Structure 1
Amino acid sequence: MLASAVVLGLLISSFAVASGEGGAILGGKRNPGSNESAALSRETQIIANTGTYGTRQSNKSDNGGGAIYGCRSKAGGSPKGNEPCVRASNLADGRAFEFESKGGTEVGAITSSNAAAAPFTTNAHGVATGLNADQVDGKSADDIQNDTLKAAHTDAVATAQGLSPFAAVDADGTLGGNRGATSASRTGAGTYTVVFANDVSGCALSATETQFEDAGAVGVQLGGDHKTVTVRTRAGGGADGTGATAPTDRPFHLVATC
């Protein structure tokens, strides 16, 4: 009976130590057990004084992790009194953390069920070496700046061109290449009308004959609707020196510089 009492006492004592505050940690088991009432209510502290690490957790399985930490802390982190699931605090001036991977195409991932959440915040403003913070979609800040300047230049050119309607008209009055012109027609010998889509009364109108030999003077006149321009082309006098200036059918370019 005495021996049985001793054995029973040892068993009861071992179970008491194996769960709850002050109990031993059981390998391969849930500590202090699945009984929620036995959950630890105080920090379990491991204090070391060694030149390597205070604790080391490793897993030799080819698909198992070294450690997992879970918590139910609310938003705000330490500044709000809500401790994060993991916190590394270096009380000296060295690194608080390091992540290293021996291979693969990525070192880690930060994911959230809220895709709009910020992946992290920082009050540090130094350069993050190797983070490619200078790149967006594979382009450096200089590339982005150059692209912006090119785009601005292109927009400026497009704007300037948009402010300068023009029309290329054949000798028979056919409208060719143009910007902002809606129609062209021959109304008489060397006389044409060109109609623009918008008011060009605030623009400087100029026209030139588009032929090299015997090119003559060209006159332009804006109509009362501020969109229709009458153009009259003339011969240049010819090689015989007759000085002929009668209206003559000639191809021309008409430009409205606004």
Structure 2
Amino acid sequence: LVHASIVSAVVSGGLSACGACLTLAAMAVNLWFRKVPYIRLSSPIVNTIIGLGCLLCHASCLIMTFNAYMGSQLGLCWSQLLCLITGYSCAFGGILAKTWRVHRIFTNKMRLTTIKDWHLCMVIAAILLMDAGLLLALGLLDSPALAVKRLSEQDMISDGAVVLHKLVVCQSSSEVLWKGLIIGMKAVFLLFGIFFAWETRTIHVEALNDSKVIGICVYNTTVMGLIGVVLEFALPIGSVDLRLVLLTCCINICSATTVLLVFGRKVGGQGVRWG
């Protein structure tokens, strides 16, 4: 059976662990300084949800690494999928909700609009409910199962015997369809993010407005997402090490960049004193 090498597992796992530690540190600082006016105006609860989403994305990379190195297990396959989808929705959904609030407040000039943090949490919850419905449909209609793939590579040994390389994978009968549905739904969120960021581009309320950040996050997520999708469909299934390293790098870089953009500007903002 083919599995990932120890080198690729250490590289992927190490990057994922570093990203998770960075996220935990950023979340801790966000909660510790949550009463500082600059951070309080930026909804520390929603920031925590964003951090939790990035943490789940890093966790999905750790699970992917373990799965590739030890051999696929059905429970780990589901855990990886759940962490990645939920993590994306929490992270990007939180950014999207905050920018939607700015759009509603500053574009609705006819009446005073008050949007509290629980409204933003409801937006994130709605996105998570859509994810839950899609995952439930996948589990009921076309649940993934373990399958053994025979690879084309063959090695001859001295006595003339042939060694066949096989790979255990998790797959469903309509895997391409389900991947398309998941990617399509996330792409819709990206489009909404671009729209709200563009609509609020001229608003200058630094502690409240994340339109500039979401613009960079959308660009970062789009680029890394496109790279990840291309790698997912273009790389041969037998290229275990290459797939593992490149896919985990895409997810880890995207998540870590989001953490630095969302939390870094808050920690370096007005009113935060370390001494």
TM category, shorter:
under 0.3
Q: Which has the higher contact order (CA 8 A, sep 6+)?
A: 2
Larger Rg: 1
Give 1 or 2: higher helix fraction: 2
Q: Normalising by structure 2, what TM-score?
A: 0.19
Q: Which has the larger strand fraction?
A: 1
- TM-score by length of structure 1 reads 0.20
